[in-house]
Amino acid sequence: MHSYGSPLYIYSKSQIEFNWNLFEQSFESHPHLICYAVKANSNIAVLNILAKLGSGFDIVSLGELERVIAAGGDPRKCVFSGVAKNENSIKKALEYGIYCFNVESEDELARIEFVASSMNMTAPISIRVNPNVDANTHPYISTGLTENKFGVGSDIALSMYKKASSSTHLKVCGLDYHIGSQITDLSPFLEALDRALELIEKLKSENIFINHLDIGGGVGVSYNQEKTIDIKEYLNSVIERVGSLKILVEPGRSIVGDAGIFVTKVEYLKQNDLKSFAIVDGAMNDLIRPSLYDSHHQAVLIDNNSRGINDEWDIVGPVCESADFLAKNRNLTLEKGDYIAIMTAGAYGFVLSSNYNSRPRVAEVMVSGIKHSLVRKRETIESLFENEILFEDETH
């Protein structure tokens, strides 16, 4: 920590590799493509580690696609998800030769066809079907219900497949669904799978055949010792149901979640009649999950000591919001200058960070065995306003 400053994200190369290989080994000889969900952690060092393993990537923006390519990833192994693809991003994705577009609406299908036609190309497409399955997760990360903005219902999907199969500039490749994130129960996944397979049978009756089924991501990780999904059991259950159909899967959190920690330093200890606060240098702009989702991360004291004050602490940051906390009601023995590790912070940590309160975003470090190195420099205060321009009013 002393070399890199605080606050700080630290990632484990070996844990990233271990988690990815859990998926790879579970497929055994079944045809598949693992497309890591870049939105979970998009540092190019992380992407490079996965690219070297042979991973594909699930992207939701042109920026993510360019990151993958800069990191050595293969665009031909990329699936392009997201509800608001513009013409430029579709054009660039076609030029790069991506594996498939996951199409989220009728308008988007028409736009992809238009762009492909203007380029005299054929766009590979998969329709994202909304199976209307409750994933029993936080409403902000639930994506498989009719009330969510993602995907289309099966009736609309069937109509879209018919249009796509009759187009000379669209190629039907697959069917896609993704019901949410941080799911710790297998049953919603299997319910969604059964509904997808019903639609695939309907497509066959219309002489529309797909090459792959994309089962999305969403496998939860253990933030507070809770039981989660056994990946091998899950994928074996999928393989048993799909026959010889190629499977695509889009893990994100389950690859990087437990491979990262957020380290923060205690600046002050503050106690009153009701509460004890450990005021740290990390804040909600660095790790927003507790404030946004009321999520629980374990808080572990680094270099455990018995010299400080033992109490039940709220770990809070410097941002001027009462929602600025990293953990609440944690029994720790603390003194000023201690470092606290916020655990399981490798997913949706740095990628959701901001410059709120004009705070520079933190550094990121990768660890492999005894080796460690900087994989993203800490921002400077000057960098925060380097793209801003003073307004000169000529009337005064």
What was the pLDDT predicted at 225?
87
Separation between Cα atoms, residue 173 and residue 103, nearest integer Å: 11
Q: Could you tell me what percent of the chain has a pLDDT over 90? A: 85
> What is the average per-residue pLDDT within 15-20?
98
Of the candidates 25, 77, 32, the one whose C-alpha atom is nearest the C-alpha of residue 56 is 77
For the chain, helix (H) and strand (E) counts, in that order, are: 11, 17
| pLDDT band for position 295 (cuts 50, 70, 90) | very high
Q: Is 321 helix (H, G, I), strand (E, B) or coil?
A: coil
For the ranges 109-118, 186-195, 226-235, 304-313, the lowest mean pLDDT is seen at: 304-313
- Return the active site residues: 320
What was the pLDDT predicted at 133?
76
Separation between Cα atoms, residue 169 and residue 120, nearest integer Å: 8
| pLDDT band for position 1 (cuts 50, 70, 90) | low
Classify domain 14-254 by CATH architecture: Alpha-Beta Barrel (3.20)
Task: List the structure tokens of 221.
Answer: 């990780």
> What is the average per-residue pLDDT within 5-10?
97
What was the pLDDT predicted at 67?
98
| Segments of the chain assigned to CATH 3.20.20.10 | 14-254
| Segments of the chain assigned to CATH 2.40.37.10 | 258-380
Cis peptide before 139 (omega within 30 of 0): no
Q: Which helix (H) or strand (E) holds 232?
A: helix 231-242
Q: pLDDT tens across 131-170, in order?
A: 877 655 545 444 445 556 678 988 999 999 999 999 999 9
Q: In the beta sheet, which residues pair with residue 367?
A: 12, 372
| Amino acid in position 327 | A
Phi and psi at residue 63, in whole multiples of 5°? Answer: -60, -40
Q: Which CATH class is domain 258-380?
A: mainly beta
Residue 280 has pLDDT above 90, yes or no: yes
Q: Could you tell me what percent of the chain has a pLDDT over 70? A: 94
Contact yes or no for 194/239 (Cβ under 8 A): no
What was the pLDDT predicted at 146?
53
What was the pLDDT predicted at 147?
56
Q: pLDDT tens across 297-306, in order?
A: 999 999 876 6
| pLDDT band for position 339 (cuts 50, 70, 90) | very high
What was the pLDDT predicted at 141?
42
Contact yes or no for 234/247 (Cβ under 8 A): no
Separation between Cα atoms, residue 136 and residue 152, nearest integer Å: 20
* C-beta pairs of 155-162 under 8 Å, 24+ apart in sequence: 156/106, 157/127, 157/129, 157/199, 158/199, 158/202, 158/203, 158/206, 159/106, 160/103, 160/106, 160/109, 160/127, 161/127, 161/203, 161/206, 161/208, 162/206, 162/208
Residue 358 has pLDDT above 70, yes or no: yes
Separation between Cα atoms, residue 111 and residue 102, nearest integer Å: 13
Residue 91 has pLDDT above 90, yes or no: yes
> What is the average per-residue pLDDT within 231-241?
95
Task: List CB contacts of 59: < 8 A, sequence separation 6 or more.
Answer: 38, 65, 68, 78, 79, 80, 81, 82
What was the pLDDT predicted at 3?
86
Contact yes or no for 15/272 (Cβ under 8 A): no
Task: List the structure tokens of 225.
Answer: 């010792």
> What is the average per-residue pLDDT within 263-268?
97
For residue 19, count other CB atoms closer than 10 A to its CB. Answer: 24
pTM: 0.94
Contact yes or no for 324/350 (Cβ under 8 A): no
Mean pLDDT, the chain, integer: 93
Residue 52 has pLDDT above 90, yes or no: yes
